[in-house]
Amino acid sequence: MERPRKKVVKERMQTTDIIILAAGKGTRMQSRLPKVLHKIAGQPLLSHVLTAAKTVNDAKSIVVTGFGADQVENTIGKQADAFVTQPQQLGTGHAVQCALPHIRENSKVLILYGDVPLIAPETIAKMLDAVTADQMGLLTVILDDPSGYGRIIRDTDNNISAIVEQKDASPEQLKVNEVNTGVMALTSQQLMGWLPQIDNNNAQGEYYLTDLIAIATSDSVKVKSIQPQSATEVEGVNNRVQLSQLERAHQRQKAQKLMESGTSLADPERFDQRGELTVGTDNFIDVNCIFEGEVKLGSNIHIGPNCQIINSTIGDGVEIKANTIIEDSVVGDNAILGPFARLRPGTELADNTKIGNFVETKKAKVGKGSKINHLSYVGDAELGEGVNVGAGTITCNYDGANKFKTTIGNNSFVGSNSTLVAPVKISDNSFVGAGSTITKDTEENSLAISRAKQRNIDGWKRPTKED
């Protein structure tokens, strides 16, 4: 039987092209690095903009580079869909002109800035919603001190009619405190039709993108103003002071979200997230902790001060004491780490394990309930359950050319100050006497001991000071 055909209403999905201006050198950064490659939360400024741009369906991002174009392109790579180089910085209008070959015919076009990193997806969506055949969107803000910015000029009906740059403004226009953020959205037809009409007859001899507004008005296209949720969204970075201020603003937002989702922070001003952090509930994070890359925390975790956790997964009920560093590792439930523990890549700790102070692990699988409590190095090793590794134990995993593995069986005990020369296996339930250098595999239920026998010398005379 033939099914009744559903009427498919083919809505023509409109594409979006997002041009990101990033040609400027950023002289005031006093840096060899192009400004847009300076970082906030561990990511280049430009990457933040591209991440926000990616929240738009079907968006194509086009980055306009100039100063350090190769460096920008190499660093950003596939995060952007296209790069164009503006050979000479002749103004924002000229920069957008350079991107035109990448603009599709029936697109909405949004213009963003590589040095304005915190633009929010919600604001981008509002801007694009404002675009129709007879309306464009312009992001504006009202500032107590508008100096330096292009002023928004409105007609007697309060409609936007032009933007006048500070250097071209009359004393009357300078009093306006609604300013241009630079972010605008329009159709590709509008942009292609209007850009050739821009000239450089102005105080700076530049092709001003902002001249589009007056052209739109004369073309009977309404300019709808949109305001960001927060002023930080449209703040640009021109120097390192502003960079640090935006970093903190960004971290404050992250801290806020974390607290709202059930994590306590000792001080939200001393919290740094540089990547993706997923969390359970009822965790406590003390001051100066840094979370980098992809970090997953379970619930009921207590993290002491000055810890750094990178690309790792931490189970429920774990206690991480001060100054512990964890990288590319997995930590089971109820483990106790630190203070001053260092888990290097490939550490996998089962539940109820303990890694104490000044212990370094690397590519180490540690079974349930096993403990390495003090001053040890355990690398390229596999430990069973219930193992106790005494203070100062070293797995000698490297012969200067190759790495070898140490295996320690269930319920074994390694006495303090032992060196285990890999490849070597300590069997289940075996015991290594303190101070041993173990080069041969041990038997189950045995004691391995390799140290000089103690001699006690009677009547030994202590040396005395010479006159």
Which of these ranges, 87-95, 122-130, 192-200, 239-247, lies near ligand UD1 under the rule CB under 6 A?
87-95
Q: Token pair for residue 61? A: 């991002």
Beta bridge partners of 326: 309, 343
Beta bridge partners of 413: 388, 431
In angstroms, rounded to a whole number, what is the distance separating the alpha carbons of residues 83 and 74?
Answer: 11
Instruction: Give the residue with the Cβ less far from ligand UD1, 86 or 427.
Output: 86
* Residues 403, 385 contacting (CB under 8 angstroms): no
| Under rule CB under 6 A, residue 95 binds ligand UD1 | yes
* Residues 62, 102 contacting (CB under 8 angstroms): yes
Instruction: Give the residue with the Cβ less far from ligand UD1, 209 or 279.
Output: 209
Which of these ranges, 5-13, 20-28, 367-375, 405-413, lies near ligand UD1 under the rule CB under 6 A?
20-28
Instruction: Give the residue with the Cβ less far from ligand UD1, 81 or 319.
Output: 81
| Under rule CB under 6 A, residue 415 binds ligand UD1 | no
β-strand pairing of 135-142 with 178-187: antiparallel
| Under rule CB under 6 A, residue 377 binds ligand UD1 | no
DSSP letters, 216-250, are HHHTT-EEEEE--SSGGGG----SHHHHHHHHHHH
In angstroms, rounded to a whole number, what is the distance separating the alpha carbons of residues 158 and 248?
Answer: 36
| Under rule CB under 6 A, residue 176 binds ligand UD1 | no
Which residue is listed with tokens 């928004």? Answer: 152
Give the containing element (helix H, strand E) for 196: none
Instruction: Give the residue with the Cβ less far from ligand UD1, 62 or 448.
Output: 62
Count Cβ atoms within 10 A of the Cβ of residue 297 and give its class: 0-12 exposed, 13-18 middle, 19 or more buried.
buried
Tell me the number of residues near ligand UD1 by CB under 6 A: 27
Task: Report the first-to-last Cα separation within the chain, whole angstroms.
Answer: 117
Cα Rg, the chain, nearest whole Å:
32
Give the closest residue to 67 by CA, choosing from 17, 101, 28, 100.
28
In angstroms, rounded to a whole number, what is the distance separating the alpha carbons of residues 244 and 449?
Answer: 57
SS3 128: helix
* Residues 108, 128 contacting (CB under 8 angstroms): yes
Q: Considering only residues 117, 228, 236, 384, which one is a binding residue for ligand UD1 as defined by CB under 6 A?
A: 236
Q: Considering only residues 94, 224, 321, 363, which one is a binding residue for ligand UD1 as defined by CB under 6 A?
A: 94
In angstroms, rounded to a whole number, what is the distance separating the alpha carbons of residues 134 and 132?
Answer: 5
Residue number of the CB closest to ligand UD1 reads 150
Q: Count Cβ neighbours within 10 Å for each residue of 192-212 and write b for 16 or more, e otherwise.
A: eebbeebeeebeeebbbbbbb
| Under rule CB under 6 A, residue 83 binds ligand UD1 | no
| Under rule CB under 6 A, residue 246 binds ligand UD1 | no
| Under rule CB under 6 A, residue 21 binds ligand UD1 | yes
Which of these ranges, 42-50, 175-183, 413-421, 440-448, lies near ligand UD1 under the rule CB under 6 A?
175-183
Can 250 be counted among the known catalytic residues? Answer: no
Residues of span 106-135 touching ligand UD1 by CB under 6 A = 113-115
| Under rule CB under 6 A, residue 163 binds ligand UD1 | yes
**Closest CB 207 distance from ligand UD1, rounded Å:** 8
Binding pattern for the stretch 136-155 against ligand UD1, x by CB under 6 A and - elsewhere: -------------xx-----
| Under rule CB under 6 A, residue 182 binds ligand UD1 | yes
Count Cβ atoms within 10 A of the Cβ of residue 233 and give its class: 0-12 exposed, 13-18 middle, 19 or more buried.
buried
**Closest CB 163 distance from ligand UD1, rounded Å:** 5
At 19, the amino acid letter reads: I
**Closest CB 404 distance from ligand UD1, rounded Å:** 54
Instruction: Give the residue with the Cβ less far from ligand UD1, 114 or 338.
Output: 114
Instruction: Give the residue with the Cβ less far from ligand UD1, 114 or 332.
Output: 114
**Closest CB 65 distance from ligand UD1, rounded Å:** 8
In angstroms, rounded to a whole number, what is the distance separating the alpha carbons of residues 336 and 266?
Answer: 20
Which of these ranges, 16-24, 193-201, 242-250, 350-358, lies near ligand UD1 under the rule CB under 6 A?
16-24
| Under rule CB under 6 A, residue 165 binds ligand UD1 | yes
Instruction: Give the residue with the Cβ less far from ligand UD1, 99 or 394.
Output: 99
Binding pattern for the stretch 183-212 against ligand UD1, x by CB under 6 A and - elsewhere: -------------------------xxx--
Residues forming the active site:
374
Tell me which residues touch ligand UD1 (CB under 6 A).
21, 23-24, 64, 66, 86, 89-92, 94-95, 113-115, 149-150, 163, 165, 179-182, 208-210, 236
